Amino acid sequence: MTVIEWCGDSVRLIDQSKLPSEESYIQTGDYRVLVDAIRSLKVRGAPLIGIAAAYGVALAAAKFDGEEYYSFRDHCATAIRELASTRPTAVNLFWSLERMRNVLERGTTIESVRKALVSEALRIHHEDREMCRRIGEYGASLVPQRSTILTHCNTGALATGGDGTAQSIITTAHKMGKTVNVFADETRPLLQGARLTAWELMKAGLDVTLITDSMAASLMKQKRIDLVVVGADRIASNGDVANKIGTYNIAVIARHHGVPFYVAAPSSTIDITIASGDQIPIEERSAQEVTEGFGRRTAPVGVRVYSPAFDVTPASLVTAIVSERGVHTPPYDFKKTISDHD
């Protein structure tokens, strides 16, 4: 399964809104189609959103019909703004677009910039693939020889440019010969855990059991969960973690029951420009995703709906954060950590 790929003058990506019942692809040479795909969750997952956005800028440059360089730059800048407007929480989107903007601003000719933008987008994709591999290797060391893992939302190949973040830890541990069983939260309201994570883990040959989001506490009370592994859409300098709505609930429950709570994400998800999770913008989704999920109304007409896509888990509830740079433990100071590494 190829989740996303550059095809020379177009981008081909799997339409995640149709999984698991239909494995179909979108192929387009129009960056605006990618804008819609990101906004409508046909492509989702913080790292993959960043990759798709980078390819979108490359498409915008490739399809510019003109010869005046400053008009070309304005056209590409417009594409960057439109792509940036799609999802406010996933910092990988802005990290990726900033890299593409830097390439654009350094250029001098249309043709040279076109080539440089494609190269940079491909580099972003390759880097994420490598980061996923290393996250899996570092994180697998945290998984006991026999363990049952709870995960939330989707953090596999469908969310990244490689084998995933939290899911890479799970699959890497499995490949190492560890006996790994997984409970996957369905992840309301759009069921990424049910539609995507369960599907991916089954294809990978893992023992996976699907549960509703409200079952985690009961399982932990029964001592049936050994550790929790989740992803992230943005991590603040102090280690506060924004992830799919419902993650905070799990962290609180895990702390109460003494279950380790691990977060896995590439360093591109760490936002050292913000001090804490209080500064992370939280995307609010359409009420219809709650009242008419998948085309069937399940709530009274006219009822008010509050539908944040993410919540913020305080760093105090996070046992460790796994990036491609290693396993980070409290106290978290990513502004210093990343500065020292660079």
Instruction: Write the CA distances from 17 to 57, 195, 206, 300, 306, integer angstroms.
Output: 23, 9, 23, 25, 22
The reply to whether 216 and 300 lie within a common domain is yes
Segments forming the whole domain that contains residue 47: 4-133
pLDDT of 342 > 90? The answer is no
Q: Among 116, 133, 150, where does a domain finish?
A: 133
pLDDT at 166: 98
The domain boundary residue, chosen from 113, 133, 153: 133
pLDDT over 80 at 163, yes or no: yes
CA-based nearest residue to 244, from 48, 93, 24, 45: 45
Peptide bond into 330 cis (omega under 30): no
pLDDT mean over 168-174: 98
Both tokens of 180, joined, read 């790994």
Q: What percent of the chain has pLDDT over 90?
A: 96
Which pLDDT score, from 0 to 100, does residue 32 have? 98
Measured CA to CA, the distance from residue 114 to residue 72 in angstroms comes to: 10
pLDDT at 1: 79
* Mean pLDDT, residues 51-58 taken together: 98
Does residue 25 surpass a pLDDT of 90? Answer: yes
**pLDDT recorded at residue 338:** 72
240 burial via Cβ count (<10 Å: 0-12, 13-18, 19+): buried
pLDDT score of 341 more than 70? no
Domain tally, the chain: 2
- 205 with 57, same domain? no
Strand partners, 207: 181
Q: What is the mean pLDDT of residues 121-142?
A: 98
Question: Quick one: 17 and 125 in the same domain?
Answer: yes
Supply the pLDDT for residue 241.
98
pLDDT at 251: 98
pLDDT confidence bin for 252, thresholds 50/70/90: very high
Active site residues: 233
**Is 160 in the same domain as 217?**
yes
Q: Output the domain CATH number for residue 197.
A: 3.40.50.10470
Same domain for 28 and 149, yes or no, is no
Q: pLDDT for 289-325, tens place per residue?
A: 999 999 899 999 999 999 999 999 999 999 999 999 9
End residue of a domain, out of 83, 114, 133: 133
Residues 201 and 174 grouped into a single domain:
yes
Whether residue 103 sits in one domain with residue 165: no
pLDDT band at residue 339 under the 50/70/90 scheme: low
Mean pLDDT of 29-57: 98
Contact 305, 290 (CB under 8 A): yes
pLDDT at residue number 336: 80
pLDDT at 340 over 70: no
Q: Which amino acid is at 44?
A: R
Q: What is the mean pLDDT of the chain?
A: 96
